[in-house]
Structure 1
């Protein structure tokens, strides 16, 4: 299982408002990341989870099937308290959520402080290792790498993916270097050849348009639902963006205004969503 599978937030169809249609699992993880992760070792009553996800259009049956699927994938653990079933995070889910939180709240979408170094990762896998190749490429893409050539991937800055490679059991098949580009290298052209800048930019433009319109509309009566949609869509927006150096991107790159809009809506919904969650969630200590 790859982090990009876990954190992918869109189905093939669009939502009614023209944005990406969030998967129940992504909304579930956004819920646990926003309202459970920082509470320590607690688990949440399934009825509370059904209530919260119902606010973003996920039906009870879909919530229950998603909970079961996430237990089977090692992301949640069940715990019975009397006649009620509670769900808590596994260590794997905590790692995924903390990684996502760093990506969203700490790193940000704009890279103004690039030091000129690139991380290069070369690999050679047997032709029969299709699943391992897919897993490695998926994890590299989530970590900000793009395919410079078939077996040579590149990411801006010093990116430590040694743990990812080790987890996949591919350490012996991978070589990692940190280097600067020679003066003859056209970095802007290299970036255009390696990453789909038009697609990345389009996501930022669409996000900014939708959520700027939200800021100009009447205040929502459901901050917890708004925040779940906001975080899920922002993660979908940034997940294909490797945080390329700003000085080598096209003028007026749309990541900055989109990020500012994200933080404005996040700030407006943070306190009301937390207050709603405190009154809504039934929790128990995780055993």
Structure 2
């Protein structure tokens, strides 16, 4: 779900935008995506890709060594640890010094759910009924704070602004948005709002719902992804990627891909441009991700072991199954 200031379009991944993921009740939260290097985001990707047990004791020095492989300084690595702890993705075990961290069970479940989401996204076209949830609201001039809060909440719930105060999202689930509107606007003098289930007479026309989305910007994001990693795919096919390069490359390609499932509204095919690059980008991701898994795991163990002697007992990797869900790849220890 994408919020880019007060921009009327969503889906443009080429600008500095914040991806907000609706958090489950246990309040385990992914770090927000931001422009430029993000050690928190990178560390969350590493933990989700290569660890699966809350029993593993992860020394802080091992985390520093892992992130150093990606050019992250020690101070930035320790700051990322601290911030992911505050977000509930990891927790400190005991009171020893230096600190030892572990994944929480909630975070592991969250990681697996998110990994499945990343790997399965785009595997098959959405089941389409033609239904849209539409939200319309009206506020007095004095209601600027409430207007900002409404726009922020709607963006976080996957709505796009069709017109100034008319927001839409595909599907028929309206419970969360009704609750959000109640929470924000109940008690606001002069505020009015409606949640409706609608269909468009000319859904695929120039005035239809696709106009709410920056599909050109999203397509450009996919094309940039393909351009960035096409040479890597050639190197993988030619057997030119060793373990050292594999860890950085595999993590980088997933870290780059993981924004798309949150910003792509997954519109039905008849609302998309004739040449839509998502499938080509997805196939590139899966080929690189699957081919480099064992090499990347081996490199991560090599890096971590001097600081974490039990690293080989805990570090693993996941790949996409035939159902496009993540499965652990077992290997002999």
Confirm or deny a common fold (TM above 0.5).
yes
Structure 2: gaps (5+ residues): 1-17, 23-28, 187-191, 312-333
Aligned to 1:219: 241
| TM-score, length-scaled by structure 2 | 0.67
Q: 1:157 to 1:32 in 2, by over 3 A?
A: same
Question: What does 1:150-169 align with in structure 2 at a 5 Å threshold?
Answer: 150-159=164-173, 162=176, 169=183
- In the alignment, is the contact (CA less than 8 A) between 2:243 and 2:295 conserved in 1? no
Question: What does 1:27-42 align with in structure 2 at a 5 Å threshold?
Answer: 27-36=42-51, 38-40=52-54, 42=56
- In the alignment, is the contact (CA less than 8 A) between 1:119 and 1:176 conserved in 2? yes
- In the alignment, is the contact (CA less than 8 A) between 1:22 and 1:232 conserved in 2? no
Q: Give 1:27 deviation, angstroms.
A: 0.4
| TM-score, length-scaled by structure 1 | 0.76
Q: 1:119 to 1:58 in 2, by over 3 A?
A: same
- In the alignment, is the contact (CA less than 8 A) between 2:30 and 2:89 conserved in 1? no
Task: Compare CA radii of gyration and give the structure with the larger one.
Answer: 2
Stretch of structure 1 that moved more, 184-193 or 228-237: 184-193
Q: Give 1:59 deviation, angstroms.
A: 1.3
Q: Give 1:200 deviation, angstroms.
A: 0.2
Stretch of structure 1 that moved more, 217-226 or 205-214: 217-226
Residue of 120, 127, 130 corresponding to 1:116: 130
Q: Give 1:93 deviation, angstroms.
A: 4.7
Q: Give 1:277 deviation, angstroms.
A: 4.0
Residue correspondences, number: 270
Q: 1:101 to 1:121 in 2, by over 3 A?
A: farther
Segments of 4+ moved more than 6 angstroms: 171-174
- In the alignment, is the contact (CA less than 8 A) between 1:9 and 1:22 conserved in 2? no
The SS at the match of 1:214 is helix
Aligned to 1:45: 59
Q: 1:194 to 1:231 in 2, by over 3 A?
A: same
- In the alignment, is the contact (CA less than 8 A) between 1:188 and 1:249 conserved in 2? no
Report the Cα distance in structure 2 between the residues aligned to 1:164 and 1:229, rounded to whole angstroms. Answer: 38
Report the Cα distance in structure 1 between the residues aligned to 2:136 and 2:105, rounded to whole angstroms. Answer: 30
Structure 1: gaps (5+ residues): 12-20
The structure carrying a bigger helix percent of its residues is 1
Report the Cα distance in structure 2 between the residues aligned to 1:84 and 1:174, rounded to whole angstroms. Answer: 53
Q: 1:117 to 1:237 in 2, by over 3 A?
A: same
